[in-house]
Amino acid sequence: MTTDTSTRTPDHADLETLFVNNEELGQIERYLGRFNPIRVMKMERMEIRHSAILAWLLDPLETHGLADGFLKAFLCEALRGHDIDTYPTALDISLMDLRDAEIRCEWQNIDIFVFSAAENIGFIIENKFDSRQHEGQLAKYSKKVADLYEFQGIEPKIRGVFLTLYEEEPEDESYAVIDYDDICALLSGFMDRQDMPLTPEVKIFLKHYLEVLKEATGMSEEQDKMEKLARQLYRTHKKALDFVMEHGASSDFAIAARTVFGDNTDYLDEVRIDKNAYLFGYLGSEQVSFLPQKWYKAFGEDQTEWPISGDWWMAYPLIIWIEIRENDDGVKGQLRLFGEVGPLSNHEFRSGLIEAIEQAAKDSGSSRIKFQKGAADEGRRYSKFFKSNMIEVKDIQDAEEIAEAMKKLLQRFKPEFDAIATILPQFIEYAESAE
């Protein structure tokens, strides 16, 4: 759909309605203006700071008051269902007393190392928040630790844990995987527990840290609410906001996305990119969402309503979005493409959809579709499933480079989009007529 540019210039009344005593805009401004010391110090994207905070939480002797509770919960979640024939398993950990555990941060270039002399076990925790693993890195750490302890005449059992923000798979399959979604769930649980009362200072700090993690993982209900409000605000005041974005400050990512998806594109408008069709969703300063046309048609287009629980990008069970993240240097960054199953209230539908997507991956021979463990568990709300989904960006202020990277990601995942489209029609029974 193309809009006549002559209709895009707002008048004084349009701008006044948007900016003067607009409570919706005020809510968003208050949300963006919240105080968070981690964000104030610009530490929310710094991997080494996340390692330091997690090392503090894992240390039984630290001031958080959790003893070895968080350490055991973290290790149990990582090892749950992973290589159950290798000691220790999650069940073994649950029966241990790890209050003697020593926690080392950035020791021997290892992000976090855990060692219990009483149990004679050690854990290498490799933390990947924004950075990528290097070839042979995980196996090298395991050998280095084994050699160091062997030199001391000790032969502990060493296991590896791979902590990831983007549900990345470790190169070394002996490493168990845990993601930051799990950290959010664990910390939320500990904050609500009555048997481990936390001091007010610790609660405040953990609240700030959880806020950072939930926004990074897409688990923040408050962020979801504000994003939904922002989309509603945009649809209501599209003419005025488009004018402001065009003539005021705009992110280079947004400029790139408009170059790729069209300058005047609105919600559910069809766009063609390299001869492939997509339905536009939402554009922000760091994210753009959309659906392949084949998915949209398989979902019954706009004639159905789906059992979605809570705020969600679009009114469909699946979504794709592209997101940019800057590196610590503020110059380079990464462009990532995500596919995700949303918060469906019907568990049978949600688990069946995940299983069907996994089967589509097998049938098509795709290695770029893979869910994390527990994705289909009851109670899970958001489940990402694309792997090898990142392109490095040399300059995050180069809109042309970002636009080309977007097109490359779309082209790379075209086979996966098509494979998933084949399994979607079978789920139309879970939709209701919108009429």
Q: What is the 3-state secondary structure (H, E, C) of 62-127?
A: CCCCCCCHHHHHHHHHHHCCCCCCCCCCHHHHHCCCCCCCEEEEEECCEEEEEEECCCCEEEEEEE
3-state helix, strand, coil in the chain (%, to 5): 45, 20, 40
Give the span between the Cα atoms of 124 and 142, in whole angstroms: 7
Whether 372 shows a pLDDT value over 50: the answer reads yes
Rounded to whole angstroms, the Cα distance separating 139 from 351 reads 34
**What is the pLDDT confidence band of residue 4, given thresholds at 50, 70 and 90?**
very low
pLDDT at 121: 93
Confidence of residue 1 (pLDDT cuts 50, 70, 90): very low
Please state the rounded mean pLDDT for residues 327-342: 89
- How far is it, in rounded angstroms, from Cα 283 to Cα 417? 20
Which token pair is 267?
A: 């919600």
Q: Rounded distance, CA 414 to CA 211, Å?
A: 34
Please tell me the predicted confidence (pLDDT) of residue 433: 55
Max mean pLDDT among 37-41, 120-124, 164-168, 299-303 falls in: 120-124
pLDDT for the residue numbered 119: 95
Give the residue among 324, 332, 327, 390 at the shortest CA–CA distance from 42. 327
Please give the pLDDT value at position 11. Answer: 81
pLDDT tens-digit map of 132-185? 777 777 888 888 888 888 767 788 899 999 999 877 788 888 899 999 989 999
**pLDDT tens digits, one per residue of 234-284:** 788 877 777 776 655 568 998 899 999 998 788 899 999 999 999 999 888
Tokens 């753009």 sit at which residue?
288
Q: What is the reported pLDDT for 102? A: 96
Of the listed ranges 66-70, 149-153, 159-163, 207-211, the one predicted with least confidence: 149-153
Average pLDDT over residues 352-373: 94
Tokens of 434: 């919108």
